[in-house]
Chain A
C-alpha cells in the first residue's frame, strides 16, 4: 500500500467534520480508556471521541423540540385547581418566600394569582392530565414521560437558554448537541451530526451560541438547515454552473490536490480531498432529503406540514427524515412562547403551530419503528409565574418568568411512556417532590445515549469539562 493510500484509508474513517491539528486522539485516549464492552458508538459513519459506550444505549439519536420563550407549565401541563380558586388573590408570602422575581414584576403593586385559562382533562391509558390547549398531545400521552418539577438557575431568557443547552449561564461552553456529536460522532458520513431547524418569527432573539460548540472544535457546532431556499448555506452551485460542470471542476481540484499531497505528504490534504467529495455528495443528497413533497398526503396531513413553508410542522417532519438518515442530534427551535401579556391568546396561537406536529412526530416515529431508539424532548427554558403580570382580566393576562419549576416531556429511546414524575405545590410555584435540575436532564439524555455524563469530558483551560459541570443525576424513574 502506498504511503498516500495508507494515509487516505486511515483518514476517511474519521474524515467528516474531522478536527484538524488539535489533538482529539490524545484526549480520547487519555480520558476514555474503558474496555470495549459494547462496541464502538458508530458502526458506520464517523466515530466520535468515545471509543466505546459506557453502557448499552437505548437511544441512538435525539430530537429536541425547544420551545423558546418559555411556555407556561400552568396552562399546558400542570393543572392547579387551587390556583383558579385563588385567582385575583395576592400570592401568599408563605409560597413566595421572598424568592427572587424579575425586574418586570418586582415593581408590581401586587402579585395576584391567576388560574389557567384552559381546562384540563385526562388522556390515554395512563390518565395523564393535559391542557385542552394541546388536544393532539393528549393522543400520545402513553408514549411520553412528563416531568413536572424541572428547575433551572437563571431567571431571564438569554442566560436560561444558554444554561439549558450548555449547563452554564456564561457563554463559552459546548451545547448538548455538540457534546453528542463530539462523543458519539455521526451515523451518516454525508450529513452533519448536529442539525438545527428554526421556526417562528416573533419572540425572543436567538444567539448562535445556543447551538454552538463552545470550546469543542467548531466542527461540532449545530449546522442550520433551512426549509426554504438553500437548505445549507452556500449549497447551490453558482448560476451558469451545472452539476456536470461542477463535477468536472471538482475533479480538477481533486487532481491538483492529489499532486500536492504527493509532493508535501501532509495528511490534512487527504482530508480536504475527502471533504470536497462529501460536499459534492451532500449537494446531490440533501435536496432529496429536504423535499417534503415526496411524503405521502397522509403524512403531510398528520403533521399539518405544507411543502415549501418554514414552519414548525415542516421542521418536525424534516427532523424525522434526518434521524431516519442517522443524524445524531436534531434541534428544533420554535420562537414566541414569551407570554408576559395576552397569554391565553398567545398560548392558543403557539399551540396551534406546535401541538399537532409534536404529537405527529411521536406517532410517525412509532409507526416507523424509530421511536424505540430516538429520544424526543419537548420544553422551554423555564416556567411561568402563578401570579399575573400586568392587568388581570378574565380574557387576558400575562405571566412572568419562573425558573423554580416547570414541565417538560420526553419520549422514545429509553424513556418509559405514560409516566408523570415530580410534583409542584398547589399553586404550581415551588417543587414539592421529584425535582429535576437541568443538569439532571442532561445526565438523563446522555444516559439514554449510552453515555455516563461524568465520563464524557474535554480538557480545556486545564480542566476536564463536562456538560453537567459537577452535578447531574440520571432521572431513573422515567427510564424504561
Chain B
C-alpha cells in the first residue's frame, strides 16, 4: 500500500488509526459509521488471526470451533458458550476472549504472535453488533455482470470500464488526468502490445492522422503484428515456468522451443482462451488431436526434473506432479494450493484430500522420476514432416530386403563353409579338457562347519554334511605363468577316508550356488621369488601433446592417436604433435602440464627378466588413465591437488619389455601427473579375473555373475551332476619357487544352496583358454554339449556364429546391413522432438500422502476438484480434459477473473486484485470489484477473446491518461491503485534489451525458432556448472540480436543482465515479477558490451539518417529512442555533450577506435571515428535514460 509513499511519511503514522489504513484502499476513506463488510473487512481478520485454529483445517481445530462457516460459528460449543451471537457482542465468546486480559485466556494466544489491533477488535465488535452476517468469499462466487455505476463527469468515459474507474475516483474526490500526448500514448501502447517502441515512420504516420479513429487504427495494427504474440508469450512463459534446462542439479539442456513457438502462434492467431487452455492442459485427450494440440501439452513438461545420482525416482515423481498441481492452481485459479500438499488449507476451503484428487489428474504421465535421457525425457513427440516419414518407410523396406538376404547367407547350407566349421568345433572341444593340473589342498577353513579333506583324485570335499557357505582354501600350484583357474563340481561322495555316511553328496535338488570367487596368489618361497625377479629397467619417458578438445570431458573420453595406435616415431594432429623423449624426467617426479581442455600421453617401457607384480604410485591434477601392454589398468577423472601416491595400481609385468602409457587430461588451469614404481616386486597380490565361463548357466545364473561382487548373482545348478566353470586372468601369474593360491568360495544370498560339497580346483598354463572362454555363452554351451542332443536351433546358432566370425562374405553382408540400419536409425533420431503430456493406459492409483511425504501413503483417492471453489459436473470426463472443462465452465468463479487480472497487471503494473497470484481469503481485496467482474463476464461473453478484452482496455480513457503525477495524486493514490493517471513503470528485463536492439537497428526481428545464446561475460557457466555444461555456446552473427524472448533460459544461471533486471529463474511459476531499481542495473546499461554495441549502432544510424546538422541529429535521436521531440534544454545538453565528445575523441583517436569496436558487428570504414565515437557516447546517454526504459 505504501510503497511509493515517502518513507518519512509512513513512519510517523502509528496506532491506533493505522489499522484503518491497513485495510487498504478498499476501505481506506470510508467512515466507521458505515456498516462493516464481512468479505472485505471481517473475513480477512478472522483468516489472519483465527483460522489457524478455527478454520477449515480439521486437524488443528481447537475447541470444536469453526469460524469460517456461519452455522458452526453460531452454534453452542461444548463449553456452553457461543462464539458469535448476532447483535450481541457482550454474549459472544469471540468478543469476550479477544478482550481478555489473562494471557492464558486471551485470543489469539500470545504465542501465535498475531495480536489484534484495537481497530480490528472494533471491527469485529461492530460486525457482531450489526448482526454478524456471513457471506461467501467474493472470489468463490460466480461473477455477475454489474450495472455501470453512476458518474458525474459523463463526458470523460470512452468505454464501459471508464465508468467504474471514474465512479471510484469521484468517490475519493480525485479527478482523472488529462489524456496523454499522442507521442507518449503511441510509445506506451506499442511497448504494451508488441514490446517494441514505435519507429519514426509509425510516429509520423500517427501524428499526421487526424482521423478520430487514428488511435484505434494503431491499436488494431499492433494487435495484428507478429510481435504481439511475442509480447504475450513472454508473460505466459513466466506463468508456465518455461526454461530449457532440467532445473535441478545438473541442469542439462532439453528442447521445448517448439512449445514456445506454439504459444507465440496461438496469441497471434488470437486463439480463444478456453481453447488455449484446453490444448495446453489436455491437448492429447482431445479427439484425434493434431500435432499442434500435442505440442501444446508441453506446458506441463516445463516442470523441473532431476538426474542427480542417488536421488530416488519415486520421490521426484511426486515432486513433478505436485509442481503441476501448484502451477495449474496459480495460473488459472490465482490460488496457492501448495499448503494443502501436507495438510488441509488453513484459510481456504481446500482439503488435503482434494489436493490429492487434483494430483490424481496429473499422476498419470508415463515419465521417469529420474530424467536419464540424453535430450528430451519421455513422453515426447517427434516432429517429422510427411516427406521425412516417406523416407523412413523407404529406408525400412531397404533394411528388410537386406535382412532377408543376410538370413540366407547365415543359415543356408554351404558345403565349403560347413566343412570348416566341423574342424573348428573339433579343435575347441579338445581345448577345454587338456592342460589342466589339479591343485593340492594345503589347508582350509569352512564357516560354521567342519574342515575339508582332499581325496586321492584331488577332489575336495566336506568330511561331514555341512551348512558351510564359505570356504577358504590354501592350495599349492606351480611356478606358472598360469593363465586360468577351473572349478569342477563333482557328484557323489568325497572319496576320502571318511566313508561312514553317504550324505557327502551335493545336496540333491538344491544343487549348489557360488556367488563369488576371490583368489590371491602368494610366493611360496619369498626369497627365491624375489631373487628370480631380477633387474628392472625403466625406459625413457616420451611425451606427446597437448591434444586439444572442446571440454575436459572430451579430452578424457576421446581416443587420440597414441591411444589407438602407439608409435613413438609417429606424428598426430596433422603433424603438429609428435613424441618427445624426456630423458631428464625421473621416476617419482611430479610433472606439470599446461593447456586448457587438453590431453597429454606419456609412454615408457618397463623391462623385466621374469614375470612379476609391481606397485605403481600415481597422481594427477585431473583426468588420469593408465594402460599396461594395451590393457587399461586405471581410469579416474575429476580435479584434485596433484601429488604422487594418489592412486596405487598393481602392474603385472611380463617377461621382457612391457609398454606403459599414461594419459593425463585437464580442463582449466594446469594439469599434470606423477608416477613412481615400487622398488620391490610384490610377493602377494589378488588375482584380477578377466573372464569367467561355465558349462551350464541355468535360470539366469551365469559364471559372469561370479565376477561382479553382487551376492545375489553367481553360478550354480540345482541338479546333482558334474559341472565346470573356468576363469581366465588378465596376465599370467606365478612365482619362482612355487605359488600358493588362496581361494575363497562364497555362496552369497542368491540361492538356497550352499557352495558345492565336493569339487576339484585346477590351473592351466594354456594360452588357448582365452579364446575358448570368450566364446559367447550359448555357443560355448553347444560346443560342450557334444555328447548330448543338440537341438536344431542350437545347431543353427552355432552355424551363424561360425560364419559371422570366420567367413568374410558373411561379415561383409552383415556390415552392409548394419550400416543401412544405422542410416535408418540416424535419420529417425535426427528428427526434432518436444516434450508432451500423455496418460498411461491403465490409470495409476493415487493416494493421499501423509504430511506430503512421498512414501507415506494414506487413503486412496480418485480424480476430483476442490468442490467448494466450484462444483464438479458429472458430465465432465475423469481426466485432464475434464479438469480443463471444469476450469472453463462459464460459471467458474476464478478462471475468467484471474485471466483478465493478469492482463490488467501487464498493462497497468498492478492488478485490480493486487495479489495476482492469490485470490483466496489471504489475498488482497480488489481495488475495483465491479470492474473486475465486468471484464470477467465480458471476457467469457466474447468467447474468451483475448485480443478483444485487451483492445477494450487500451482503448479506454483510463489507459489513455497522461502519466504525469501531481503532488496531490501521489499523496492520495501513491501506487496508482485508483488509476487516477496513466500507467508508467520500467519495462521488463527482456524489454530493456529489446528497446536497445530495436532503436539501434540491430534487432533481427525473426519470429520463433530455437533459443539463441547472445554473448555475455565469459566464464559465468564454468563457475557453477558440472563438466560438460560449463561452456556457454555463444551464438554467431545475427542470432546475437534477437528479441530477449528467445534468449536461452538456463534455470541454474539465467542470462546475467535479465537477472539484474528482475527476471525470475523460472524454476517455478511466476505470476508477478518484482520491479527493483538498483545500481547494478545502471552498470549493466552503461557498460555491458551489448548496450555499448547498441549505442554505437544507434550512433551510426543517427549519423546516416539523422540529417547533416547536430540539431537534426539530436532531434532524430530523440524521436528514435523516446518517440518525441527534445525540449530546448534537452537539446542544449546534448549539443554541449556532442561538442565535448567530438573534441575529446578528435584528440584521442585511439580511444575512439576502441570504443566503436565493442561487440561482434564491425563499424563501417566510411565514417569519421571521432564523430562516431562521440555519437556512441550520446546514444549510450539516451539508452540509459529513465524515460527510455520506461513506458509511459
Interface residues in chain A, defined as those with a beta carbon under 8 Å from any beta carbon in chain B: 3, 6-7, 9-11, 13-14, 16-26, 29-30, 33, 47, 51, 100, 102-104, 107, 109, 155-159, 170-172, 192, 198, 201-202, 204-209, 212, 216-219, 221, 223, 229-230, 232-242, 245-246, 248-250, 252-253, 255-257, 259-260, 263-269, 271-273, 275-276, 278-279, 282-283, 336, 342, 345-346, 349, 352-353, 395-396, 400-401, 454-455, 459-463
Contacts and interface: CB of A to CB of B under 8 A. Distances in A.
A266 B965 contact: yes
B308 interface: yes
A171 B3 contact: no
A221 B1177 CA distance: 31
Given A240-B1173, A249-B1177, A279-B1083, A208 B648 contact: no
A461 B1076 contact: no
A25 B1060 contact: no
Interface in B1019-1067: 1019, 1022-1026, 1029, 1051-1054, 1056-1057, 1059-1060, 1062, 1065, 1067
A217 B1074 contact: yes
A21 B909 contact: yes
Interface stretch (B5-13, B258-266, B279-287, B872-880): B5-13
A386 to B, nearest CB: 17
A267 B970 CA distance: 9
A245 B1180 CA distance: 12
A10 B1087 contact: no
A20 B920 contact: no
Contacts of B668: 201
A275 B251 contact: no
B970 A265 contact: yes
Interface string B998-1032: 00000000000000000001010011111001000
A394 B1152 CA distance: 65
26 contacts: A13-B7, A17-B1078, A21-B1075, A23-B1, A25-B10, A29-B2, A104-B309, A109-B711, A155-B310, A158-B248, A158-B308, A171-B1065, A171-B1068, A201-B639, A201-B668, A202-B639, A206-B1024, A207-B1024, A234-B1017, A234-B1087, A242-B1151, A249-B1180, A267-B6, A272-B1077, A282-B1079, A345-B646
B251 A33 contact: no
B336 interface: yes
Contacts of A155: 310
Contacts of A216: 1074
Contact of A156 (B311, B1019, B1084): B311
Interface in B621-648: 636, 638-641, 643, 646, 648
Interface string B907-926: 00110000101101111000
Interface string B1-37: 1111111111100110010001000000000000000
Given A7-B6, A256-B1185, A265-B965, A20 B638 contact: no
A336 B1074 CA distance: 34
B3 A21 contact: yes
Contact of B249 (A158, A233, A282): A158
Contacts of B1026: 204-205
A20 B1134 CA distance: 29
Nearest to A241: B1155
A21 B985 contact: yes
B1059 A171 contact: no
A7 B9 CA distance: 11
Nearest to A172: B1068
Interface string B176-193: 000000000000000000
A418 B375 CA distance: 52
Contacts of A230: 1017
B6 A233 contact: no
Contacts of A352: 641
B1158 A25 contact: no
Given A29-B18, A462-B915, A265 B641 contact: no
Contacts of A172: 1067-1068
B1153 A264 contact: no
B910 A264 contact: no
Nearest to A238: B1092
Contacts of B970: 265, 267
Interface stretch (B221-229, B890-898, B1125-1133): B1125-1133
A265 B968 CA distance: 11
Contacts of A248: 1137, 1140
Interface in B774-796: none
A275 to B, nearest CB: 5
Contacts of B18: 29, 33
B310 A25 contact: no
A142 B864 CA distance: 60
Contacts of B311: 102-103, 156
A53 to B, nearest CB: 16
A255 B1133 CA distance: 8
B902 to A, nearest CB: 15
B919 to A, nearest CB: 9
B667 interface: yes
Interface string B1133-1161: 11001001100100000111111111000
Given A201-B639, A229-B1019, 13 more contacts: A10-B7, A26-B22, A109-B710, A172-B1068, A205-B250, A207-B251, A230-B1017, A234-B1088, A256-B1181, A268-B1186, A269-B1186, A279-B1086, A462-B336
Interface string B98-134: 0000000000000001000100000000000000000
Contacts of A276: 1079, 1082, 1184
Given A253-B1185, A265-B970, A352-B641, A217 B310 contact: no
Contacts of B15: 33
Considering residues A219, A252, A268, which has the most beta carbons from chain B within 10 angstroms of its beta carbon?
A: A252
A212 B922 contact: no
Nearest to A310: B1023
Nearest to B1157: A239
Interface of B: 1-11, 14-15, 18, 22, 113, 117, 247-251, 304, 306, 308-312, 319, 330, 336, 338-339, 347-348, 636, 638-641, 643, 646, 648, 667-669, 709-711, 909-910, 915, 917-918, 920-923, 963-967, 970, 975, 984-986, 1017, 1019, 1022-1026, 1029, 1051-1054, 1056-1057, 1059-1060, 1062, 1065, 1067-1068, 1072, 1074-1084, 1086-1089, 1092, 1127, 1129-1130, 1133-1134, 1137, 1140-1141, 1144, 1150-1158, 1173, 1177, 1180-1181, 1184-1187, 1192
Contacts, number: 324
A10 B667 CA distance: 52
Contacts of A246: 1086
Contacts of B669: 201
Given A16-B1079, A202-B638, A462-B921, A252 B1065 contact: no
A207 B310 contact: no
B1177 A20 contact: no
A345 B617 CA distance: 14
Contacts of A395: 648
B1025 A205 contact: yes
B3 A22 contact: yes
A288 to B, nearest CB: 17
A245 B1177 CA distance: 9
Contacts of B638: 202
A245 B187 CA distance: 31
Contacts of B1065: 171, 208-209, 212
A22 B1153 contact: no
Nearest to A265: B965
A208 B1052 contact: yes
B923 A6 contact: no
A256 B1076 contact: no
A170 B1068 contact: yes
A209 B1141 CA distance: 43
A157 B251 CA distance: 13
Contacts of B338: 461
B1098 to A, nearest CB: 14
